[in-house]
Amino acid sequence: MTEKIVVGYDGSDSAKRALGFAAERAKAINATLVVAHVLEWSPYSFLTPTEVEERHKRRTEELQRAEQALLAPAVAALDTGGLTVQTVLKYGHIAETLCKIATDNDAAQLVIGRQGHSNMASRLFGSVAGTLAQVAPCPVTIVP
Amino acid sequence: MTRNDIRKTTLPAVATSVVAALMMARSAGASTLDETINTVFANSTGWFVSLIFSNFPGTSFPWIVAWLVVAATVFTIYFGFIQFRAFPHSIALVRGDYSDPNDAGEVSHFQALATALSGTVGLGNIAGVAVAVSVGGPGATFWMILAGLLGMASKFTECTLGVKYRNEYADGTVSGGPMYYMTKGFAERGLKGGKILAVLFAIFCILGSLGGGNMFQSNQAHAQLANVFGDYPGWITGLVFAGVVFAVIIGGLKSIARVTEKVVPFMGILYCGTALVIILMNYDMIGTAFGQIFRGAFTWDGAVGGAIGALIQGFRRAAFSNEAGVGSAAIAHSAVRTKEPITEGFVSLLEPFIDTVVICTMTALVIIITGQLVTDPNTGMFILNEAGTQVKTLDGSSGVALTSAAFSSAFGWFRYVLAIAVIMFAFSTMISWSYYGLKAWTFLFGEGQTKEIIFKVIFCIFTWIGAAASLGPVIDFSDAAIFAMAVVNIIALYLLMPVVKREMNSYLSRLKSGEIRKFA
């Protein structure tokens, strides 16, 4: 079994840099690259009755959009050069779900970008990169 | 009559009557309009209201309350006290222990429960309970809790059926509720009359949603605002409320809905938390309070009607507050995606528990423990007010004002929190009932954007009217309509309960054998 490198990808500039970096690393050690995108979702948020009714429809649309507008172009743009690329699309808390994806894939490494600026919200609640650095099940590389 | 016929005949009729009402509104002055509507309504619908709310001969016990409590008792026995047996499993379902992580992004059991609860938690929990304990005495609390516990079985039955017989459409949306289990469930079991019941239910549901679920709410929200800010014309509140409701249900303005749905649970928790703090502050009174509750439930303690009065008030309040058996919750829960309809039944049985057994009881305990009800220092019996209609309270208040006085006796600032809570609860109840009404509307007239917008506009107009006018007979009628829903719904529940039992036995045996397991 080849090693796997999981990269968190959300379409931002830093995520693009992280993807590029992860692809280089994967080629270097001949690993499989897993491009993961997490749609922020809490099972404890509150919805109106209409939102409850339309949820399944919206979820299908959201998954389709993420696949078509985000993951597919990212993979297509990648200079694969014989690299095996998989994609994963999940709902959940971003940091927790990325950890879960890393565990499920028995990842050798987790690569993520980070937001260049530190805003008030991430100071208060912690950033994804900061959280992952503390709780990830494997070595984490944070790409600026 | 087929569904198409109904569509053709009733839609123009409803539209005409709405237009006629609007024309009247334009031609007549505001005060005379109130009077006109009141008279017309009182004359044409008075018989219906008195029929629904009439008492058993020689008592002051409304038969509709007995109808709900008897049904709840029958379901409790028929399903072998499922509300107690399945309680731990219900909690596990809500916590997501049995949810497949790959289904994340779908509506969770917790979200379904929270959405349905926001439609029932409201004025009943704050004002209604105050009425119950001030008229029936502390003993009413005992009967209220009992009725709440029994009502859990009614919710379990109706919500399971709601999910089982819903309609699923190609685009992934769903429509469900009593209308659908009445038609599809009856057809499946070879029973007749399902269509008639469904049409009746849908009509009552539309009327109830416009009245009790809308006009009454905006009316009471205005009363609460006027109480805090001083008196001002109701049409101002009405216009603001109608505008906000319009923005949410027609404009699809998610931000307001989102804010409400965040504030409402917060208010609920704050309300219960404060109640708990007040109860603990008066811990030396807890024994006395429970003594009063148990004594009042079975003996003559000086409150209106003695133990029977306490029973009537307690049962009434529970039935009016948690809506178990009315069928509204079946509409709310049916949109959830689950492979097992019965799981939604398990989750929904927590609703009467939270609404009645927890929140209503908190209100009652705070009123009792802070000593709002005046007793004779020599005999320990309650003293009635001069009219003899309720127990004398410290400052002579009743309803929301009594709850407000009880909470403010411990924390003076709480009256403002309570005012905001009442308004938020009223608003979330309106949003929920606009959905219930819409589902009944589309059942009668068919789905379609124009038809749906017609209903939503009518709904907003009634929001405005509700706050602007004091339309006693109209509100009586719409309350009666909500309980008429229960008459029709419970007949269907009796006929379809074997279906629920089959689902329940199958599920419970698979749970026991380990076929249904927790996700790690």
Distance separating alpha carbons of residues B172 and B408, to the nearest angstrom = 49
pLDDT at B468 over 50: yes
CA distance B185 to B165: 7
Answer whether B115 sits within 8 Å of A92, measured CB to CB: no
Distances (CA, A) of B201 to A95, B183, B246, B435: 47, 11, 25, 15
How far is CA B287 from each of CA B161, B365, B383, B437, rounded to the nearest angstrom? 42, 11, 21, 45
The residue type of B91 is: I
Whether B323 has a pLDDT exceeding 50, the answer reads yes
pLDDT given for residue B354 in this prediction: 93
In this predicted structure, the answer to whether residue B10 has a pLDDT above a threshold of 70 is no
The band of A125, judged by pLDDT with boundaries at 50, 70 and 90, is low
pLDDT tens, B435-458?
Answer: 999 999 999 998 888 999 999 999
Q: Is the pLDDT of residue B15 over 50?
A: no
ipTM, 2 dp: 0.81
- A62, B13, B25, B209, B385 from B462: Cα distances, Å: 36, 18, 12, 10, 36
State the pLDDT at residue B510: 92
Give dist(CA B240, CA B457) in Å, integer: 15
Mutation site, A54, A55, A97, interface B, largest B CB count within 10 A: A55
Give the residue among B368, B372, B370, B366 at the shortest CA–CA distance from B392.
Answer: B372
User: How large is the greatest C-alpha to C-alpha distance in chain B, in angstroms?
Assistant: 71
pLDDT digits (tens, 9 = 90+) for B105-155: 888 888 888 888 888 888 888 888 888 888 888 999 999 999 999 999 999
Closest by Cβ to B106, choosing from A44, A48, A55: A55
Measure CB to CB from residue A43 to each of B108, B173, B332 and give the nearest one.
Answer: B108
Rounded mean pLDDT, A3-9:
89
Residue with tokens 């008279």: B39
Q: Quote the pLDDT of residue B32.
A: 64
Name the strands in the sheet holding A4-8, side by side, starting at the edge strand that comes first in the sequence.
A85-92, A32-40, A4-8, A109-113, A140-143
| pLDDT, average across residues A126-134 | 77
Token pair recorded at residue A25: 């690393």
Q: At what angle do helices B109-120 and B341-348 cross, to 10 degrees?
A: 50
What pLDDT is recorded for position A127? 75
* pLDDT score recorded for residue B4: 43
Residue of B nearest to A50 (CA): B435
Which residue from B179, B184, B209, B185 is spatially nearest to B197, judged by alpha carbons?
Answer: B179
CA atoms within 13 A on the CB side of B401: 10
- Best of A45, A52, A64, A93 to substitute, by most chain B Cβ atoms within 10 angstroms, is A52
The answer to whether the CB of A88 falls within 8 A of the CB of A36 is yes
B446 vs A: CB within 8 A: no
CA B383 – CA B395 distance, rounded (Å): 13
CATH superfamily, region B45-52+59-101+108-510: Amino acid/polyamine transporter I (1.20.1740.10)
Q: Which of A85, A100, A89 is nearest to A66 (CA)?
A: A89
pLDDT band at B178 (very low <50, low <70, confident <90, very high): very high
Mean of per-residue pLDDT scores for chain A: 83
The residue among A113, A105, A107, A66 whose CA lies nearest residue A89 is A66
Residues of chain A contacting residue B255, judged by C-beta atoms under 8 Å apart? none
| 3-state SS, residue A5 | strand
**Distance from A68 to chain B by nearest Cα, in Å?**
18
- Burial string for B144-160 (b: 16+ CB within 10 Å, else e) reads bbbbbbbbbbbbbbbbb
pLDDT score at B506: 94
Which chain A residues touch B if contact means CB-CB below 8 Å?
A: 39, 41, 43-57, 59-60, 62-63, 90-92, 100
As a residue count, chain A comes to: 144
| B182-233 per-position pLDDT tens digit | 999 999 999 888 999 999 999 999 999 998 888 888 888 888 888 778 888 8
Among B74, B72, B65, B83, which Cα is nearest to B136's?
A: B65
The token duo for B329 is 């919750």
Chain A contact present for B39, CB below 8 A: no
The pLDDT value recorded for residue B266 is 85
Domains of chain B, residue spans: 45-52+59-101+108-510
B111, B174, B436: residue with CB nearest A47: B111
Residues of chain B with pLDDT > 90, as a percent, come to: 36
Q: What does B83-112 look like in DSSP terms, one character per residue?
A: HHHSHHHHHHHHHTTTS-GGGBTBPPHHHH
Distance from CA of B446 to the nearest CA of A (A): 17
**Of B33-42, B65-74, B424-433, highest mean pLDDT:** B65-74
CATH class, domain A4-143, is alpha beta
Domain boundaries, chain A: 4-143
Give me the pLDDT at residue A133, please. Answer: 79
What's the average model confidence in pLDDT over B36-63? 80
Phi, psi of A92 (to 5 degrees): 150, -170
Q: Which chain B residue's Cα is nearest to A54?
A: B173
Query: What value, to the nearest 5°, has the Cα angle with vertex B109 and ends A104 and B174?
Result: 105
CA gap B185, B393 in Å, rounded = 50
Q: State whether A48 and B171 contact (CB < 8 Å).
A: no
Q: Cβ distance B355 to B328 under 8 Å?
A: no
Helix ranges, B121-214 (H): 123, 129-136, 139-164, 178-180, 186-189, 194-210
pLDDT for B471: 66
Q: What one-character DSSP code corresponds to residue A92?
A: E
* CA distance readout (Å), B441 to A140, B100, B455: 55, 34, 7
Asked if residue B12 has pLDDT above 60, the reply is no
Least confident of A53-62, A98-107, A119-128, B351-360: A119-128
